[in-house]
Amino acid sequence: MAFLLPAALCIVSGYLIVALGWRRRAFVLSDALLRVSLSVGYGLGIFSVSFFLARVFGLSHLVGVDVSVLALLIAAQLLLRGRNRVTDSLSSTTESFDLPPWLRGVAAAGFAIALCAALYSAVLRAIARPHGEGWDAYAIWNLHARFLFVGGDHWRDGFSTLIPWSHPDYPLLLPAAVAHFWSYLGHEAPAVPAIIGLAFTLSTLGLLFTSLDLTRGRMSAMLGGLALVSTPFFIEQGTSQYADVPLSFFFLAAIVLLFLHGDRSSSDDPAPRRGLLVLAGLAAGFAAWTKNEGLLFLFAVVVAQLPATIRRKSQAESGEEPAGRWIALAVLFLAMTPALVLIAWFKHSWAPAGELFSSPPEMLHWILTPGRYWTILQWYAKEFLRFGHWFLVPGTLLLAVLCFLTIAGPGRVKGRRLGPALWTLAFTLAGYFFIYVITPYDLHWHLRFSLNRLFLQLWPCAIFLFFLHLGPKNRAIVSK
Amino acid sequence: MPISPRSDGLPTRIAAGVLLFVLCCLLSSFWMVHDAPNPLHLGDDDVAARSDQRFTVMKSVLPSHGVVGYIGEPGNSGTADYYLAQYSLAPLVVDRSLNHPLVIANFPTSSASSLPQKLQLVRDFGNGVLLYASKDMK
């Protein structure tokens, strides 16, 4: 029961943040589920930030802090209620896959079976290894959570360079959220990080399913959901208490919300849709507060928006004045700013310098070593087919086959509309590549123990974009 | 227009594609169930929980914060043991060196036979967990 109060505060705070950026009038189930899925991540994000700030400023009365945050969010709701134009909910969608009923039944049954299998596996894994599975769970994330929770005035000791492999420069979304719940419970319940891991796993699936359902119809949602939920590595990592699945959640949230913002099928006013930009910026900010890779993704999001902002030639094509496009970019960046300031403050004041950029001469030497590029390329190719721990047939290969078999299908979404999202993933992958080039660690060791998780971080986004591309665009889901 | 199996001679290809996709995904789902922990033996292999139990008594006699030294088995298994010890003893910082007045010895699978002369045993907590004082650092 003691868990219910912080859980309720967390979800309600998250829901209020989502409602601030995305207001709707009518009730549609997928729409509501999408917002609930988003609320989990935003709630945990705000819980993490509020706990960290409470630690920094020595505030011990967490209930007071949480109620204050809640009151602020409610006040903002009331203040903006008259200003924000309410957006309609989606009333009907055109199915991307107009399949015969028997095949729709097979797909639905397949999704249901895969979902049950994933839940069974995830719950057993969480119970069997309550402290997490693997090195990073207890050497990094839960260790930092313990220092934040039981450290008292000495919580900063958790970022000591005497514990080098604990990556004391890693940001604190996950550890601080865990410590926030522990503070309510009064002890280090191992169930908390396990439940948070499960919550992020299910929210990522819910976000993927509902966003595809709203934009491409139920069949695309089921096939996309099936692709994710039947990826064994996604379930393994989701319950391992690592930060890669939470990171994938925020990546997907940012990509989905940016796509919804960019949806141009109706003659809608851009002003109310800027709330989606704010939510996308917050998601990218929370990604950066989750793991260092999130910082790379955040910059990739901004850079990927630039060509679309500069290149659009006519107002008719873009639906916005040129100044409006720059304002939109500024809004996105401003929404990222609180997280960037927090991360800069954390890295400057408490975290020691990371190892990656510790030796510029060595970095230069690695950059000028062509063999490293070839090695990394080979690993990228290999991991493309095996990172998901699939049985017999890789999921990536399956998507390629599905794409080939439906290649003559009409009504593909033009690449231009998906361009910023595709460029974001491409820049992020290129950034990962560059990090491997300059890594001070043994290259093979580093690739072996991290590349599959980096691919997993982008996997939900890749599935979302794949099924967006495969089907034609439905009616706008965000309209006046 | 939707992608339809009833147009332009596509039905077989698209239906086959979707069917193949669903079946192959289910193969991985069945593998996931097969690979899941045995429900009858849950919690038997949780190394972090076992480590917490091994260090419980020692934690109660150590200072609540500060830095202690550490010595354990060499090699990769020793590194994992060190991080499990650090996890169990947080918020105490465990430095993997002997340059501290108090030094923890952690030997879960072997005996602490050849320790440096400068270490003086303070207490043996059992299960390969020992507390030493460093004579040099007094």
Burial class (CB in 10 A: 0-12, 13-18, 19+), A324: middle
Query: Which of A139, A230, A406 lies closest to B87 in CB terms?
Result: A139
pLDDT at B47: 79
Alpha helices (H) in B36-132, listed in sequence order: 47-61, 76-89
Interface of A with B in 106-145 (CB under 8 A): 106-107, 110, 113-114, 117-118, 120-121, 124-125, 127-132, 135, 137-139, 142-143
pLDDT greater at residue A409 or residue A455: A455
Give the gap in angstroms from C-alpha B31 to the nearest C-alpha of chain A. Answer: 6
Cβ neighbours of B8 in A, within 8 Å: 408, 410
pLDDT at A266: 44
Give the gap in angstroms from C-alpha B59 to the nearest C-alpha of chain A. Answer: 13
d(CA A287, CA A296): 9
* Amino acid of residue A314: S
Kindly state whether A160 is in contact with chain B, defined as any CB-CB distance less than 8 angstroms. Answer: yes
Kindly state whether A24 is in contact with chain B, defined as any CB-CB distance less than 8 angstroms. Answer: no
Kindly state whether A390 is in contact with chain B, defined as any CB-CB distance less than 8 angstroms. Answer: yes
What is the β-pairing status of strands B119-126 and B129-134?
antiparallel
pLDDT tens digits, residue range A99-130?
788 888 999 999 999 999 999 999 999 998 88
- What ipTM describes this predicted complex? 0.88
d(CA A336, CA A359): 29
Instruction: Quote the mean pLDDT of chain A.
Output: 87
Selected residue of B24, B50, B52, B55 to mutate for chain A interface (largest A Cβ count, 10 A): B24
Cβ neighbours of A117 in B, within 8 Å: 29-30, 32-33
pLDDT at A205: 97
Q: CB atoms < 10 A from the CB of A393, how many? A: 17
Kindly state whether B33 is in contact with chain A, defined as any CB-CB distance less than 8 angstroms. Answer: yes
Residue A469: which of A430, A421, A397 has the closest Cα?
A421
Q: First-to-last CA distance in chain B? A: 81
Alpha helices (H) in A387-414, listed in sequence order: 395-405
Alpha helices (H) in A58-190, listed in sequence order: 62-81, 101-128, 135-136, 142-150, 173-185
Residue A357 has pLDDT above 90, yes or no: no
Kindly state whether B125 is in contact with chain A, defined as any CB-CB distance less than 8 angstroms. Answer: no
Query: Which of B2, B49, B67 lies closest to A98 in CB terms?
Result: B2
- CA B14, B18, B19, B25: dihedral to nearest 10 degrees? 160
Conformational region of residue B130, where left means phi above 0, alpha means psi within -120 to 50, and beta covers everything else? beta
Residue A415 has pLDDT above 70, yes or no: no
Helix (H) or strand (E) holding B13: helix B11-35
d(CA A248, CA A234): 10
Q: How many residue pairs bridge chain A and chain B with CB atoms within 8 Å of each other?
A: 210
Query: Which of B1, B5, B25 lies closest to A110 in CB terms?
Result: B25
Kindly state whether A2 is in contact with chain B, defined as any CB-CB distance less than 8 angstroms. Answer: no
Nearest CA in chain A to B66: A157
Conformational region of residue B127, where left means phi above 0, alpha means psi within -120 to 50, and beta covers everything else? left
Kindly state whether A193 is in contact with chain B, defined as any CB-CB distance less than 8 angstroms. Answer: no
Omega prior to A100 cis, within 30 of 0: no
Range with the poorest average pLDDT among A33-47, A238-252, B113-127: B113-127
Kindly state whether B111 is in contact with chain A, defined as any CB-CB distance less than 8 angstroms. Answer: no
d(CA B71, CA B85): 11
Give the gap in angstroms from C-alpha A30 to the nearest C-alpha of chain B. Answer: 20
Query: Which of A142, A150, A230 lies closest to B29 in CB terms?
Result: A230
pLDDT tens digits, residue range A268-278?
555 567 889 99
Selected residue of A121, A136, A233, A412 to mutate for chain B interface (largest B Cβ count, 10 A): A121
pLDDT tens digits, residue range B64-122?
899 999 999 887 778 888 999 999 999 999 999 999 999 999 998 877 667 788 888 99
Nearest CA in chain B to A93: B2
* Amino acid of residue A345: W
Q: Across the interface, do A135 and B13 touch by the CB < 8 Å criterion?
A: no
Interface of B with A in 48-107 (CB under 8 A): 48-49, 52, 64-65, 67, 79-80, 83-84, 86-87, 90-91, 93-95
Query: Which of B6, B13, B29 lies closest to A118 in CB terms?
Result: B29
pLDDT greater at residue B72 or residue A310: B72
Q: Across the interface, do A162 and B32 touch by the CB < 8 Å criterion?
A: no
d(CA A156, CA A150): 11
d(CA A149, CA B131): 25
Residue A331: which of A249, A252, A258, A255 has the closest Cα?
A258
Residue B71 near residue A138, CB atoms below 8 Å: no
| DSSP type of residue A87 | B
* Amino acid of residue B96: R
C-alpha of A270 from chain center: 24
Q: Across the interface, do B27 and A391 touch by the CB < 8 Å criterion?
A: yes
Q: Across the interface, do B28 and A227 touch by the CB < 8 Å criterion?
A: no
Helix (H) or strand (E) holding B122: strand B119-126
Residue A74 has pLDDT above 90, yes or no: yes
Residue A1 has pLDDT above 80, yes or no: no
Residue A265 has pLDDT above 50, yes or no: no
Q: Across the interface, do A405 and B43 touch by the CB < 8 Å criterion?
A: no
Q: Across the interface, do B32 and A110 touch by the CB < 8 Å criterion?
A: no
Token pair 């690993």 is found at A379
Query: Which of B5, B15, B49 lies closest to A130 in CB terms?
Result: B49
d(CA A245, CA A274): 27
d(CA B10, CA B15): 8
Instruction: Quote the mean pLDDT of chain B.
Output: 84
Residue A70 has pLDDT above 60, yes or no: yes
Mapping DSSP to helix (H, G, I), strand (E, B) and coil, where does residue A253 land?
helix
pLDDT greater at residue B39 or residue A227: A227
Cβ neighbours of A147 in B, within 8 Å: 90-91
* Amino acid of residue A421: A
Selected residue of A55, A138, A396 to mutate for chain B interface (largest B Cβ count, 10 A): A138
